[in-house]
A and B are shown apart, each in its own frame.
Chain A
């Protein structure tokens, strides 16, 4: 068994992992990236559509371009990227964390470090997660799997497609499948509003005349060996209208029904998860409850823009470097998700520093107000033109906003949206 030791190890070589590693390296710490795929870049390599990088690079790039531009920053640094290496076990109980990994090239690896940054990204929810009844034929894919097959491997998984769920990956795939010669017959969404961005509804559905069925539930997948059709049932006033159910013939079903942070390793290491995000509960330094284990990117909470992922990962890397130097938060307050706020990440703020918080709302609204209270007193109020659950909201809280929390016995920062 090969033994390796670094000051820090980043698990996952996507946008988040690379951005975090760059900060650790810049602060003078040795750093390895462990990536299970054969190349760096993570999910970006299959996202060939445009729209990445407006914040980070000030231009609109495709996913592979964004990934390569970040990867190019690794050149000339001391960062050691390992590809084709899968981390199987993590023991983070001691001062030195130990990772056991398998690799076709290196065999079994035992990697030790003082700091681990979790950057494993997320997984797609599948048919089992949303319990679609019916047969079990071939032809049911998650949208991201179909995306990989079409965009990287050159397999087109079917001809007549129905997409379940109106998340952005599903919408992007509606266009992609249309552009490789498939017929996309419908996108079916259980909620009364689409989950994806309006831009994608217009350019991926309207452009191709693909109908979007809102408030409709998929109640049956039909087919013996291969998918033959899906049964769709309208929902009115919260009740299924069985007599209005109809069947759309198709040979392929794509599921775009949400993402779940991939935290099996984290749990193994004793990392506590936040029930709202399914990602680790982290403090103001983006550190989990396990000292020396940090988290960033989609493994922490599902982002909508990779530019935000990179920004957050940079903070995680910088915090991890500070932590290695012995720096700790001055004093922390707990962040409470108030009315109409689903969650905030991180869940704690440093009263002595500028904190950046990402949050999601539960409502769709124009001219909304975001309000921050410290121990029930309003300290900050921000107007928002438009908010919706699919768009993350960023908020900065500095020492001045939080000064009334200093010295309070158990300070609470509550964020609400009205």
Chain B
């Protein structure tokens, strides 16, 4: 049975049909250029995503780690309009099936300012070689 995919390497968006062959390789049709084959192989055999999310900030110097922004869905301890979350991202694409685990680790962070853009908050997550960095200076 063929699997259907849309190649997102360029704006053309070729509709790919992919068959899994007995030897573990893929047979790709519908692609207009070789990048379609590369995309299908990556996407079906080892899909990866860049993860961007936000981390909680704790008030500077607060020993109890008072959250400025509560956990997602939790009760906020700050006013409307305040900067309460630190934006973060993975430094590279990360295996798609493990994204929930990485998100949980990001949401468990409690970052105390000052923090600089590019500061590493999680290093080499689970040996993946992927770091999580701050994307804003606060």
A interface list, Cβ under 8 A from B: 45, 48-50, 60-65, 68, 150-156, 159, 179-181, 197-199, 201-203, 207, 366, 385-386, 388, 391
Tell me whether A155 and B76 are in contact (CB under 8 A). Answer: yes
Of the listed stretches B18-26, B79-87, B119-127, chain A binds: B79-87
Tell me whether A207 and B70 are in contact in the complex, defined as CB-CB below 8 angstroms, given that A152-B83, A152-B84, A199-B8 are known contacts: no
Across-interface contacts of A386 in B (CB, < 8 A) = 10-13
How many angstroms between the C-alpha atoms of A183 and B81 in the bound complex?
25
How many angstroms between the C-alpha atoms of A197 and B13 in the bound complex?
10
B interface list, Cβ under 8 A from A: 6, 8, 10-13, 49-54, 56, 68-70, 72-73, 76, 78, 80-85, 87-89, 96, 103, 117, 135-137
How many angstroms between the C-alpha atoms of A360 and B115 in the bound complex?
41
Most buried by A among B10, B51, B89: B89
Tell me whether A62 and B135 are in contact (CB under 8 A). Answer: yes
Tell me whether B11 and A154 are in contact (CB under 8 A). Answer: no
| CB contacts between A and B, total, < 8 Å | 92
List the B residue with the shortest CB-CB distance to A151. B54
Tell me whether A154 and B69 are in contact (CB under 8 A). Answer: yes
In-complex Cβ contact of B103 among A50, A64, A151, A179 (8 A): A179
Across-interface contacts of B103 in A (CB, < 8 A) = 179
How many angstroms between the C-alpha atoms of A376 and B49 in the bound complex?
49
Tell me whether B12 and A153 are in contact (CB under 8 A). Answer: no
How many angstroms between the C-alpha atoms of A155 and B49 in the bound complex?
25
In-complex Cβ contact of A197 among B11, B56, B68, B80 (8 A): B11
Tell me whether B81 and A153 are in contact (CB under 8 A). Answer: yes
Tell me whether B13 and A198 are in contact (CB under 8 A). Answer: yes
Tell me whether A179 and B76 are in contact (CB under 8 A). Answer: no
Tell me whether A65 and B117 are in contact (CB under 8 A). Answer: yes
List the B residue with the shortest CB-CB distance to A68. B117
Tell me whether A181 and B136 are in contact (CB under 8 A). Answer: no
How many angstroms between the C-alpha atoms of A63 and B136 in the bound complex?
9
